[in-house]
A and B are shown apart, each in its own frame.
Chain A
Amino acid sequence: MPINQSSSAIEVTDLTVAYQEKPVLWDIDMSVPPGVLMAIVGPNGAGKTTLIKAILGLVRSTSGQMLIYGKPYQQQRHIVSYVPQRGSVDWDFPTTVKDVVIMGRYGALGWLRRPGKQEKKLASEAMEKVGILNLENRQISQLSGGQQQRVFLARALTQDAQIYFMDEPFQGVDATTERAIVSLLQQFRQEGKTVVVVHHDLQTVSDYFDWVTLLNVRRIASGPVDAIFNESNLRQTYGGRIGFLKTEQEMSKPQVLTEPTL
């Protein structure tokens, strides 16, 4: 559907990412309007993380154009925040919670400048918002999974961005953290920000998100949850490795089981 390019938050056209002639993403077109909370779902190896990384210029694309609010990523860094997967980092690194959160301000500081009082203040505010201010001096290896995730969130908060990219933030966190993340997402939506989340849990997609992109190397479907998140599209995405549970009352709204691990 033709959308005026400059009015979408993310505009991806003809994106192909291949590694040594093996495709990870094929000819992806995706258009995300501003102000939505979007989930990217798909089976393992579908290229979800790669899609985010390609938009952010973190992996090289074989072809395609990616625009954020109408401009390429390099010109929009100051309004973008990226929350990588928790597992991509060595939590044994000798540093404290506060230190990691302050890293969010490194982009604004630029080369060589040190974080000062202003940065510490912003970090404290962010830590307070996600409920980890009391942990600010703790070594990060002593944190639980949920606490680690909230550290990443606080870091993202300090960036004061317009659009957020998060990679599996709900993976392996406790209920408190899950609630914290959800309330943060709601707050973002109220403020008109756009959030793109690689999400692993099919059960909660329609609860937390209003936009969804189904991905399996190709884009299967993309659009509002109510319209797109249905049995037929999911079957196409997961290729039959998925089961549906329909209760009497909910015949109109299919309930989805978590996919079996490959």
Chain B
Amino acid sequence: MSPQIEVLLVAIVVSVACALPGVFLILRRMALMSDAISHSVLLGIVVGFFIIGQVDSPILLIFAAATGVATVSLVELLHRTQLVKEDAAIGIVFPALFSLGVILVTKYASNVHLDQDVVLLGEIALAPFDRLTILGLNLPRGLVTMALILVVNLLCIAVFYKELKISTFDSGLATALGFSPAVIHYGLMSLVSITAVGAFHAVGAVLVVALMIVPPATAYLLTNRLSVMLVISSLVGTISAIMGYVVAIKMDASVAGAMASMTGICFLLTFLIAPQRGILAIIYRRFRQKWDFSQTMLLIHLVNHEGREDKAEECSLNRINHHLSWNQTFTRNVVLYAEKQGSIQIEKQILRLTNRGREIADQAFAK
């Protein structure tokens, strides 16, 4: 395989591996935890490196995963003192841990290709140069690590699908059924941490956040079903990865940055044109609803004022616009619309409800 293909493969595997836990983070309103964890795992990597002496050992994964869980725990600890609100706690904990990590790296480890830029951006282009042999195949180390993490994520989600689903949408029910939401919570955070660490080497802290949040958010605009959301997130992540890589090569720019930007473009497109939840669909729907809604407003006004002394005033064709604060043209159009729908009749300049009109008004009240 050519180096480019290998890099692409790494990018794809990273994207899918990140998208999967990201779906749950979005649904559980913990999106920014991915930001926090992906930054603070750096500290775990550095500390692990100091203790073990190697940058690429799998034991680093454990250190880093522990840091991720520690981040979450620290945030909750701070929050529980009731002296700090939760968002402030996040905003204090991860910069502190990350800063510690960066300082340790630049001061003591900058000769081991763990410098500032790498930390933020990874170095996916160098992936083909660090290889290992496994099962007789000679592959980039990054690809193997990430593929393993992907498999772990897939397995965990598959095995604990029911528990994840219930605890995400109804934690009360989950407890009642005997699942411990806390266990699932920390389990999910561990998955996120491990994924963040693995992805770190390839794409850096920035892109981990992009891959964990943006494709799932995009999928959230397209579907209601958890399983479909998982699939779409992975697809969007993959597309962003491929397109990002291609663009980066063409423009000779940062691969991680390009991939992150691509996730944004996918999101933007979906935001605009998604079938039910996209902006264009919403505008169209509101436009159509406006006529029905205005007709209903007219009918309800007629219902409220018919048979009363002020009927002549309130229901007259000429005065209606004043009472409903509509301009004349709009009023005329609504009246025409209502006439066409058969909900009103006009007699001697006074609007009257038909039976159909009465039905519509009653339905509106029933809601």
Binding site for B on A (CB under 8 A): 2, 13-14, 16, 18, 20-21, 23, 26-27, 29, 62-65, 217-218
Contact = CB atoms under 8 A, between A and B. Distances in A.
B293 interface: yes
Contacts of B365: 26, 217-218
B174 interface: no
B296 to A, nearest CB: 8
Given A63-B325, A63-B326, A21 B289 contact: yes
B248 interface: no
B63 to A, nearest CB: 37
Contact of A63 (B290, B324, B367): B324
Q: Top 4 closest A-B pairs, CB basis?
A: A63-B325, A21-B289, A63-B324, A21-B293
Contacts of A13: 323
A258 B365 CA distance: 24
B325 A21 contact: no
A91 B365 CA distance: 38
Nearest to A65: B325
Contacts, number: 38
Given A13-B323, A29-B304, A65-B325, A20 B364 contact: no
A230 B84 CA distance: 50
A23 to B, nearest CB: 7
A218 B299 CA distance: 14
A106 to B, nearest CB: 26
A254 B134 CA distance: 84
Given A14-B323, A26-B364, A20 B297 contact: no
Contacts of A63: 297, 323-326
Nearest to B290: A21
Interface of B: 286, 289-290, 293, 297, 300-301, 304, 309-310, 323-326, 364-365, 367
Interface centre among A18, A27, A62 (most CB of B within 10 A): A27
Given A14-B301, A63-B326, A23 B286 contact: no
Contacts of A2: 309-310
A94 to B, nearest CB: 12
A89 B162 CA distance: 39
Given A62-B297, A63-B324, A64-B325, 9 more contacts: A14-B324, A14-B325, A21-B289, A21-B290, A27-B300, A27-B301, A63-B326, A65-B325, A218-B365
Contacts of A20: 286
B293 A18 contact: yes
A126 B37 CA distance: 51
Nearest to A92: B85
A18 B286 CA distance: 13
12 contacts: A2-B309, A2-B310, A14-B323, A16-B324, A20-B286, A21-B286, A27-B301, A62-B297, A63-B324, A64-B325, A217-B365, A218-B304
Contacts of A23: 364, 367
B311 to A, nearest CB: 13
B290 A27 contact: no
B304 A27 contact: yes
Interface centre among A2, A13, A14, A23 (most CB of B within 10 A): A14
Nearest to A23: B364
A16 B286 contact: no
Nearest to A64: B325
A63 B310 CA distance: 19
Contacts of B293: 18, 21
Nearest to A29: B304
A14 B313 CA distance: 13
Contacts of B325: 14, 63-65
A19 to B, nearest CB: 11
Contacts of A62: 297
Contacts of A16: 297, 324
